[in-house]
């Protein structure tokens, strides 16, 4: 008889399970995605001091999201809110006022806004034609004027002193080529349509002619028509000056316009030429 070989029993090791991704419920997936997204790291800015202190952290947050920093040109407040920055209303007013005007115009604008708000008991909206009509003819009880085809007075787009000095430096006309006529022959006519002057160049110091009362009160009042009421009431003059200052400021788009530009449904020169903006970050010392 042949001896049967004894087989040594070996402990069977449990098969190693390959790591599989745990299935999350739809609600848990949304929570996990929200935690990993940059918006979860919210920066709460409640005053101007916090805005200056958290500047480097804010720059890093915007640089982490490609293309979002370029939307700062469209509306910086909406771009920062989209990045996950929580801004208080005073900080929003501070950012927008700082960007729109230089210091001298900003001080004058705030002075006019404060004075008009005390007089009218509401924030002034001089660039709203319907609001202007209600304010002048209902609150201030001004008589509507028959303006007709009159146009406001405008200042020169150039400095008169500098323009006179440059005209004096202009070389005199000479007849250099004798074989050519001194006056060119007319070969055709070119008509150029003159652009209307800008509201920003309205002359507040020019005299306004006396006008007859209008037969009916307009429901809307443009800034060109408001110009002829500037000497009738100090509030009307302040409204016109505030409207001119607001027109001189940097234009910031509304929430609807911001969304249209970001989605590519509306063209904008900043969005066309600036696809990505990198903000400066402080160097980390080792």
The mean per-residue pLDDT over the stretch 243-253 comes to 87
Best mean pLDDT range from 18-22, 152-156, 240-244? 240-244
At 128 the pLDDT is: 93
At 190 the pLDDT is: 67
Residue ranges per domain, the chain? 38-99+252-273, 103-152+208-249
User: How would you label 182-209 residue by residue, b for 16+ Cβ within 10 Å and e otherwise?
Assistant: eeeeeeeeeeeeeeeeebeebeeeeeee
Choice between 194 and 199, residue whose per-residue pLDDT is larger: 199
Helices 234-248, 103-120: inter-axial angle, 10-degree rounding: 140
Average pLDDT of the chain to the nearest whole number: 79
pLDDT in tens, 217-227: 999 999 999 99
Q: What is the 3-state secondary structure (H, E, C) of the chain?
A: CCCCCCCCCCCCCCCCCCCCCCCCCHHHHHHHHHHHCHHHCCEEECCHHHHHHCHHHHHHHHHCCCCCHHHHHCCHHHHHHHHCEEECHHHHHHHHHHHHCCHHHHHHHHHHHHHHHHHHCCCCCCCCHHHHHHHHHHHCCCCCECCCCCCCCECCCCCHHHHHHHHHHCCCCCCCCCCCCCCCCCCCCCCCCCCCCCHHHECCCCCCCCCCECCCCCCCCCHHHHHHHCCCCHHHHHHHHHHHHHHHCCCCCCHHHHHHHHCCCCCCHHHHHCCCCCCCCCCCCC
Q: Does domain 103-152+208-249 have CATH number 1.20.1060.10?
A: yes
Choice between 185 and 215, residue whose per-residue pLDDT is larger: 215
At 164 the pLDDT is: 85
Inform me whether the pLDDT recorded for 3 exceeds 50: no
At 32 the pLDDT is: 35
Q: Alpha-carbon distance 203 to 196, whole Å?
A: 15
User: End-to-end alpha-carbon separation of the chain, Å?
Assistant: 81
The mean per-residue pLDDT over the stretch 70-99 comes to 85
Q: Quick one: tokens of 91?
A: 């900080």
At 49 the pLDDT is: 84
Q: Quick one: tokens of 33?
A: 């995605």
pLDDT in tens, 146-178: 998 899 988 887 777 888 888 888 888 777 777
At 41 the pLDDT is: 52
- Residue from 211, 216, 257 nearest 230 by CA: 211
pLDDT tier at 117, thresholds 50, 70, 90: very high
pLDDT in tens, 28-68: 333 333 334 444 457 888 888 888 888 788 888 888 876 77
Counting residues of the chain whose pLDDT is more than 90, the rounded percentage is 26
Inform me whether the pLDDT recorded for 2 exceeds 70: no
pLDDT tier at 8, thresholds 50, 70, 90: very low
- Residue from 40, 220, 228, 210 nearest 133 by CA: 220
For the entire predicted model, the pTM comes to 0.65
Inform me whether the pLDDT recorded for 139 exceeds 90: yes
pLDDT tier at 13, thresholds 50, 70, 90: very low
Choice between 172 and 245, residue whose per-residue pLDDT is larger: 245
Inform me whether the pLDDT recorded for 200 exceeds 90: no
């Amino acid at each position: 008889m042949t001896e049967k070989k004894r087989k040594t029993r070996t402990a069977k090791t449990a098969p190693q399970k390959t790591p599989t991704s745990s299935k999350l419920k739809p609600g848990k997936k949304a929570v996990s995605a929200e935690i990993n997204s940059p918006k979860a790291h919210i920066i709460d800015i409640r005053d101007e001091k916090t805005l200056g202190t958290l500047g480097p952290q804010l720059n890093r947050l915007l640089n982490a999201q490609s293309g979002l920093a370029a939307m700062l040109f469209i509306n910086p407040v909406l771009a920062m809110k989209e990045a996950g920055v929580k801004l208080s209303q005073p900080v929003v007013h501070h950012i927008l006022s700082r960007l729109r005007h230089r210091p001298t115009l900003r001080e004058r604008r705030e002075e006019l806004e404060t004075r008009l708000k005390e007089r009218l008991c509401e924030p002034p909206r001089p660039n709203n034609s319907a609001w202007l009509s209600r304010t002048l003819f209902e609150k201030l009880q001004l008589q509507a004027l028959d303006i007709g085809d009159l146009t406001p007075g405008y200042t020169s787009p150039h400095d008169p002193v500098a323009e006179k000095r440059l005209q004096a430096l202009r070389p005199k006309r000479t007849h250099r080529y004798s074989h050519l006529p001194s006056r060119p022959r007319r070969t055709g006519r070119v008509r150029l349509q003159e652009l209307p002057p800008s509201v920003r160049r309205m002359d507040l110091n020019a005299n306004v002619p006396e006008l007859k009362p209008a037969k009916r009160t307009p429901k809307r009042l443009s800034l060109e028509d408001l110009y002829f009421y500037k000497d009738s009431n100090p509030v009307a003059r302040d409204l016109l000056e505030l409207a001119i200052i607001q027109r001189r400021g940097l234009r910031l788009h509304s929430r609807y316009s911001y969304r249209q530009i970001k989605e590519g449904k509306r063209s904008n020169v900043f969005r066309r030429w600036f696809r990505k903006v990198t903000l400066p970050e402080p160097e980390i010392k080792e």
